[in-house]
Structure 1
Amino acid sequence: MPTQAQKTKVACVGNSVTYGAGIKDRDVNSYPAQLQKLLGSNYEVGNFGYSGATMLKNGHKPYWTKNEFKQSQEFAPNIVIIHLGLNDQGNNNWPKHNDEFIADYLDMITIYKNLPSKPKVLICKMTPTFSGHHWFEEGMRENFKAIQNKIETIAKTANVDLINLHEPSYRFPEYFPDNLHPTKAGATVIAQKVYGAITGDFGGLKLPKFYGENMVFQRNEPIVVSGTANANDEITVLLNNQKVTTKVAKNGAWKIIMPAMKAGGPYAFEIQSKQSENINFNKVYIGEVWLASGQSNMDFKVHQMQSAKTVLKDSLNPNIFVMSMDPKVLGGHVFTKEELALCNTNDYYKYSAWSNDNDDVLKNFSAVAYAFAFNLQKELNVPIGVICNAIGGSPIESWISRATLEQTHETISMLNDNWKNPLMGTWNAFRKTENFGHNKNLNARHPYDPTFLFDSGVLPLTNFNFKGVIWYQGESNAERENLYARLFKMLVADWRMQFNKPDLPFYYVQLSSINRPNWGAFRDSQRKLLAVENTGMAVSSDVGHKTDVHPTQKWVVGERLAKVALAKSYNKSLVFSGPLLDYVNVMGNTLEVHFKYGEGLKTIDGTAVKDIEIAGEDKVFVKANTSIKDDVLIVWSEKITNPRFVKYGYSSFTNGNIINNSHLPASTFSNELD
């Protein structure tokens, strides 16, 4: 057995996060104490944290002047972990002394390196400062980023290892109740990260949870294969007669980019490790891969849709491979302690296997996404893979990254107070209150909280290459169409950045019809979102239900989304949209409404146009008369002598009946705010 003198000494240098401020029984629960347990008896870990300490020598509380700095050197460490900078970000320090930060940090590294014990020095990117901190929008947001960037520069300059404590801590705001200091659980995350950096032990070869038999990789684009393994391991990937090898980084991450391949399969897929057991799959495919996301109408199951028995009997296609990511907890009940524990970034989703068979996976897969895939496969004749991560009831803000939501005051307000915030949907606020037993003080995240579903359901997929996204969501945000429009644009830009595909196709479903307030205006706002580049919209207002928010005619919706994708992503020559408002001409006491995709403009039942209104400058709308001539809609009313505005399909449950030659329905529209 090693003697006390032979133990490897680890000095944890830092501020209150290292010290363990706010953690009950910090002597056993701070990150250095938990690190000691992980490292075991061959190590001796010293906690030299000092609350409030700055790295800056001219900061308000320099670590340099504290006894802990002296004690950490006298400890004769073999390893030094430095985590400083959080207190330097304040406006009482950073604006005046930011130019001194790099030099001060390099001086400290040199002092430790020159100790007689000649320790290895590792420095840390800072743990998060969350947006609820009262100085966040007063410069701290920008100062924090500047310090993180400087720490990266320092690591390269000093040639020391860098531990990124920001990730995954940033995905666990519930572990930082005061927006700065971790709980015991947060300290566990930090300790595990430092343990991996010291030992190189990351649990051996692991792949993302969605990898499996029958998975599909995107054709004709570089194939990205990624995972984790122990530091400095050598990973080799073999697929379709291609072989690529890489070395695992010190942080345990590895990524291999294989050359683009044509559609085909099945192929054997093997991931080899020099240090761990290999992982082998017998059958994987190369084809077209899509992500289906949103809320309950995207999650609506194949076995629930209209004509489900016929679909499951006659419309199965062995070249379609589907995988569901389903919630472990959801519904209208008080969450148990065990269920609350599942509401975190790592544990919320359960992953099905990939399937191309008439089994429970397919029966419980998204009906819209399966219809979409079926119609794609019929035209493209290649394997189609779809992952669905939709969550019933989810608002759009839950799908956007924290980094994006932190950029505007409006969305920071949503991040900081998501308990009945007036910007949140009424139903979502009610459901959260119900699930939390009306206990506002629970230190837990709810699946509908801003960023939650991004953290748990999107981020894990971002190293995978999707052709595009299909999206059916908005029911939970329909009360506020202008806010939704801003959030939708954020979402699309955010996902394109996260997936590193600036032109990632994003095709969405316009909400259907139901007798709920504001759905007409909301549908029109969705029409206007077509101005976002590389988007497309499938109209569903004609297959809605007066009282049921989950209409069952999902095959029609998926088929319409497929038409959009085939035309816009695969350059197929077909009509993919119903009539869309182009412009309105004022012709005396009538309006001439011109459409895009209006060839063969008519009504589906041969009667007059329904649910259409007209108004003058006063915007007082009345029921309109109509006629159709040469694909132009003529609108007038004897009550309006100087018409300016027209509305169509604005009733929440609309009986609007305009179609084109391809029998695709016209979108709800108005020129009132165009």
Structure 2
Amino acid sequence: MKKLIVLFAPILFLYTAANAQVKLASVFTSNMVLQQQSNVPIWGWDKPGSSVTVNTSWNKKSYKTRANAGGKWKVKISTPIYGGPYTVIVSDGNTIKLDNVLIGEVWLCTGQSNMEIPMKGYKSQPIAGSVDAILKSANNNIHIYTVPRSSVTEAQENSKPSEWHVASPEFVANFSATGYYFGRLLNDMLHIPIGLVSDCYGGSSAEAWMDAEGLKDFPEIKVPAKTDSIKAVSRTPTTLFNGMLNPVIGYGIKGCIWYQGESNYERPDQYEKLFPAMVKRWRGLWQQGDFPFYYVQIAPYDYAQLPPYNSGGKYNSAYLRDAQRKSLNIIPNSGMAVLLDVGEQATIHPPRKEPAGTRLAYLALAQTYGITGFDYASPLYKAVTIEGNRATIRFEHAENGLTAYNKPLQYFEIAGKDKRFYPAQAAISGSTIVVSSPLVKEPVAVRYAFNDFVTGDLFGTNGLPVSSFRTDDW
């Protein structure tokens, strides 16, 4: 019987190949949004050597190609300025017709649970204001797509089946809250179609979203063999890249938004190098240059509540937030949305997701789409000057000054050469902060809000919170 199965297997393969017909990658469905004014790839599979034609209704053009020896085919099609709806027809004699295709701006929404959590919330974990937002979400010019979860040790060419959907309460309720709020504001301001691709996995580490090549400079991170079992589905290096990212790499996008870091909080020094390496690798694989990459600085949370209940030292998640802050100087064409004012001590999933999405959108609207006249970014630590017993902190993005809303600043600390930090008096002076303590006669370093959990009390006049920071490298 075994011999019969072995003999039958190649016959079955030949029969399947001989009767193959054109198939599209899962990400190409009706209701999809294609990036405007680009040459975007469309790909799929067919019988090796088959001739495949792609017809696009906006320019009445036909694009022809042939499936290679492995059965894969790919064409690049030219997209116009935003508009639609259009149709795309793919044929090898058998025809696939994609309807209600829009041309607009496409953004990849990636990360772990705080990007993945849907508008309706997780069970017993709400999203603030979600009912009203979901109820009002119907919009023919916002289309959404979710890449299904998949964690595997071998790179996949295709993801599990999914569908593009037009924004409506039914589908928005189950879509990334951060991603939706981001896309909604883009659509409100740009008045063009927005496509959002959610590619997330709760609890995931950054290294799970990287391939072996991207991890080659991190020998301490063990890349699993193809035959290895996966014990941690969202934290095993390369496995989410293999199952969820690799299948959509190359889909035409404008840029990416990222909300992750919680699962790397205990390794901030490594993350300071790992995160920029990940972004560089993704950009290289997409072959779209340094596309915009905007990310969320993780919100404060009491991480000592999580097993194995580590606390103190580098287990303070402020170090991870600081690694993210420093990454702005390493990752070109990037921006960071600060959430120092919306964290929750008791939950790692802050219910207020609208600030995350809208602050990411502010960055995109200003830096990518060139909208001027509004103050779009949180003030960021720039430099410290020490004179006598006082340290003066200067900031970027604080041209219109700083504010504590007429309350005393509580979270500044100052240290001398002994590296011991003391609570400090801090006063706003226009766009600077003057910090001192009677206990530190010769200061050498200042920290602000450098705690695992904290609710920031320093803001730009634009209302956006200042990121936690440190002037030292201890």
TM more than 0.5: yes
SS at match of 1:327: coil
Structure 1 length as normaliser, TM-score?
Answer: 0.64
Note if contact 2:155-2:246 (Cα within 8 Å) is conserved in structure 1: no
Q: Counterparts of 1:478-557 in structure 2 under 5 Å?
A: 478-516=265-303, 517=311, 518-531=316-329, 532-557=331-356
Q: How does 1:249-648 map to 2 (within 5 A)?
A: 249-274=68-93, 277-304=94-121, 305-327=127-149, 350-411=160-221, 414-415=222-223, 443-444=229-230, 446-447=232-233, 448-516=235-303, 517=311, 518-531=316-329, 532-573=331-372, 574-648=374-448
> 1:356 deviation in Å?
2.0
Report the CA distance shift for 1:401/1:28 in structure 2 as closer, same or farther (over 3 A).
farther
**Preserved CA contact (<8 Å) 2:36 2:81:** yes
CA distance in 1, matches of 2:276, 2:321: 16
Q: Secondary structure at the match of 2:147?
A: strand
2:47 pairs with 1:221 = no
CA, structure 1 residues 478+645, in 2 after alignment: closer, same or farther (shift >3 Å)? same
- Do the aligned partners of 2:446 and 2:472 also contact (CA within 8 Å) in 1? yes
CA contact (8 A) 1:614 1:647 kept: yes
Task: Name the structure, 1 or 2, with higher relative contact order (CA <8 Å, separation 6+).
Answer: 2
Alignment partner for residue 29 of structure 2, among 206, 212, 228?
Answer: 212
Residue 613 to residue 456, structure 1, CA distance change in 2 (3 Å): same
Aligned Cα root-mean-square deviation (Å): 2.6
Is the 2:105–2:254 Cα contact (8 Å) retained in structure 1? yes
Say whether the 8 Å CA contact 1:236–1:244 is kept in structure 2: yes
Q: Which residue of 2 aligns with 1:157?
A: none
1:204–1:229 Cα contact (<8 Å) kept: yes
List gaps (5 residues or longer) in structure 1. Answer: 1-24, 42-191, 330-341, 419-440
2-structure distance, mates of 1:510, 1:469: 15
TM superposition shift of 1:406 = 3.5
Judge conservation of contact 2:150–2:240 (CA < 8 Å) in 1.
no
328 and 463 in structure 1: CA distance in 2 versus 1, 3 angstrom threshold: closer
Matched ranges for 1:4-403 at <5 A: 34=6, 36-40=7-11, 201=18, 203-239=20-56, 240=58, 241-274=60-93, 277-304=94-121, 305-327=127-149, 350-403=160-213
Deviations 1:503-561 (A, max 9, x none): 02211100101122411121111100101111110011211101100011001110000
CA displacement 1:1-60 (0-9 Å, x = unmatched) = xxxxxxxxxxxxxxxxxxxxxxxx9x969xxx95x534339xxxxxxxxxxxxxxxxxxx
Task: Give the Cα–Cα distance (whole angstroms) in 1 for the partners of residues 61 and 289 of structure 2.
Answer: 28
Of all paired residues, the percent bearing the same amino acid is 31
Aligned to 2:186, the other structure's residue is in SS state helix
The AA in structure 1 aligned to 2:92 is S
Find out whether 1:652 has 2:452 as its counterpart: yes
What amino acid is the match of 2:133? V
The residue type paired with residue 494 of structure 1 is: R
Is contact 2:45–2:72 with CA below 8 Å preserved after alignment? yes
Q: Is the aligned partner of 1:665 residue 2:465?
A: yes
Distance apart, 1:663 and its partner CA = 0.5
Higher strand share: 2
Contact 2:445 2:471 survives alignment (8 Å)? yes
8 A Cα contact 1:328 1:348, kept in partner: no
How far did residue 218 of structure 1 move? 0.3
Distance verdict in 2 for CA 1:505–1:282, change over 3 Å:
same
Q: Is the 8 A contact 2:107 2:256 kept in 1?
A: yes
For residues 239-297 of structure 1, the C-alpha deviation after alignment (integer angstroms, 9 at most, x for no partner) is 112221122222212111112411001001101113xx210012101000011111000
Contact 2:26/2:162 (<8 A) preserved? no
Structure 1, 560-569 or 515-524: larger mean CA deviation: 515-524
Find the aligned partners of 1:610 and 1:601 in 2 and give their Cα distance.
Answer: 18
Once the two structures are TM-superposed, the CA of residue 325 in structure 1 deviates from its matched residue by 2.0
Once the 2 structures are TM-superposed, how far is the Cα of residue 451 of structure 1 from its aligned partner?
A: 0.2
Q: Aligned pairs, how many? A: 453
The residue type equivalent to 1:530 in the other structure is L
| Structure 2 Cα separation of the partners of residues 501 and 445 of structure 1 | 34
Deviations 1:97-156 (A, max 9, x none): xxxxxxxxxxxxxxxxxxxxxxxxxxxxxxxxxxxxxxxxxxxxxxxxxxxxxxxxxxxx
SS in 2 for 1:302: coil
SS in 2 for 1:576: coil
- Secondary structure at the residue paired with 1:541? coil
The Cα shift of 1:583 comes to 0.7
- The question of whether the paired residues in 2 share the 8 Å contact of 1:610 and 1:655 is answered with no
Could you state the TM-score of these two structures normalised by the residue count of structure 2? Answer: 0.89
Q: Distance in 1 between matches of 2:386 and 2:328?
A: 25
The whole-number CA distance in structure 2 between the counterparts of 1:351 and 1:484 is 32
